[in-house]
Structure 1
Amino acid sequence: MDPRTMSQSERESHEIYDLGDFKLICGITLRKAKLAYKAWGTINADKSNAIVYPTWYSGRHWENDWLIGPGMALDPAKYFIMVINMFGNGLSSSPSNTPPPFDRARFPQIAVQDNVRAQHQLVTEKFGITSLECVVGWSMGAGQSFQWAVSYPDMMKTILPFCGSARTSQHNKVFLEGVKAALTADSKFQGGWYSPEDPPVTGLRAAARVYAGWGFTQAFYWHEKWREMGYTSLEDFLVGFWEGFFLARDPNNLLTMLSTWTNGNVGNTPGFDGSVEKALASIKAKAIVMPAEVDLYFPVADEEYEVSHMKNAELRVIPGVWGHFAGGGVWDEDTKFIDDALKELLSNEVTHISDMKKLSIKN
């Protein structure tokens, strides 16, 4: 199977797993909770070829396809790859698809641990899988990768989190507050009780403008790299790429995932007393942690610190001026860089990894 040769409807097709009544960390029970997922490949006889690849902030499963295909590390001919949609993304249980009384503004707070526990239930109960070759993910998918390794340390052999972190930094939270303020300032937002047929478009467009200054870097804009994406002016890029991206999303869904992101911290896992350092030290999986060289959300220094507390991890920096979207599958050179690292990790060719905790920024 190759996503690149499929129609859009085939790519968007997915399965639904019924979680039942799922108690969340916040204390609310999400009744008739559902996970949407797309599975690539076939489970082998001993169920030893499974990989989990969670989605990211506002991402849907087909937007992970760029890292899956014949000849790539995530080759469906070799692995059984489960791309699992986060709570709040509009496909799994979300404000936009949950019936009253927990619909829209009443949808409960979701923690990263809730997402991972639900994914674990899918993997173990639906498929009977007890071990994973890898958990891999971009951005919030990276945060889920870290959480998998902390919550279920004996279950996976490897993790490859890219352009993400195990704990949301204070600076990152400042950015997220800007996105939240833009979404909720629109008079049509009405405390989250807007009509789906008449969403707060002004707030979505404003949130897109906030995001635009963070998703790509100063150098990206200085060199007008948006021209390589087919845009003809800065305004064309801001409207065509960023506003177009946000207008396809539901504001309450975005705010649910934003809350999950804001409160991300593997140290909040029971047994670690809020300490990200203790939680990271508990990880047994072999890891390559891949920040982007100039990511404004998840800077290299943050991930260097996290890797320094992991027993079996290497920091490998994605070079270039693309910033956070180096992990978005937009540029072939970044895709190859990530895919090569994933191939190396899955082939067990990474040796003496504990001695390789160093920056490898390519100038």
Structure 2
Amino acid sequence: MFSKFFSKKMLNKEQVEAIETFYQHYQSEIFPEGIAAVCQLIDVDLVDDTITVTLKVPFACHSELNRFAELLLEKHNISIVIDGQLEMINIKKHDIRGIKNIIAIASGKGGVGKSTTAVNLAYALQAEGASVGILDADIYGPSIPKMLGKDGAKVTSKDGKLMDPIEVNELSAMSIGFLVDEKDATVWRGPMASRAFGQLLNETAWPDIDYLLVDMPPGTGDIQLTLAQQVPVSAAVIVTTPQDVALADAAKGIAMFNKVDVPVLGVIENMSYHLCEHCGEKSHLFGKGGGEMLCGDYNTQLLGQLPLDISICQHADQGKSSLLENSAGDIAQQYRKIASKIAADLFRQFDARSPTTSEIMIKQVD
């Protein structure tokens, strides 16, 4: 089948067939129906004795593609480099320029680490290969500027019409905190806050963004419901802690998004456990199993269980991120795993295509 692509300088037939077979049969948590069902294999290049496999992928998943390459090396002793070309679809149609998909990060109550989680997920999606933005919807208590290390920064406008987002480590951000002092925003009434948020979303000159994460204000009152209805949200993620009171409020958050027909991709259980730095023992300070029970009751999934770790809090207070400070660390890897799950499940919920197979094209580059 592939003989027309071969020459003495090219890959041998056994290598090509091994790569193709592995590609056609590879499955994982991120690719439960197989990588071939959602990713198009463009070609296989041999450049300076390096095999590069080019895939067109519909969601951010760099770490999973690296895992694919690692397993191919382990099982077939074939070393490859994956060139994952992200080509996303717009899950929900809207008129906001520059943005493909909007994901709401919400919680039923404050104090569960929602904003910290939102910032780290933004950096995690970026690490997975996506262009990302974050919008601070907490008009009354904006915290994103501080967490990004841009406390006190003010927006500008090139054309006098649209605001330029604040750029931090290639992450595009917008918040009411970049426009007015925090104490001024806290006295606004609901309608004024809603209008302000609409301006932040629609009057920002967003660059080309694959995922815009919206850090929703805590709670499930009128302001939260109004924002959920106003924004063309593709899906939502709920952040909670294992405490009963937090779980009860998280359930209200799920119900709110169900009411406005926004799919909930899953629940992140934050502060799930404390890992002793001396013996490695897990201590469940706020209870255990609550997130799993919540997901079972509302037919959604537990996206991940993040530890109660002082470094996460310290990085947030210092305007830093665990993803940037220790990208190879366990916490960073946990955030990336959650981020790739979110991206994959967002795609899968709206993907109506049938699994297809791709023909491998072999190219020789001198």
TM-score (norm 2): 0.35
Larger relative helix fraction: 1
- In our comparison, the structure showing a higher alpha carbon Rg is 2
TM-score (norm 1): 0.35
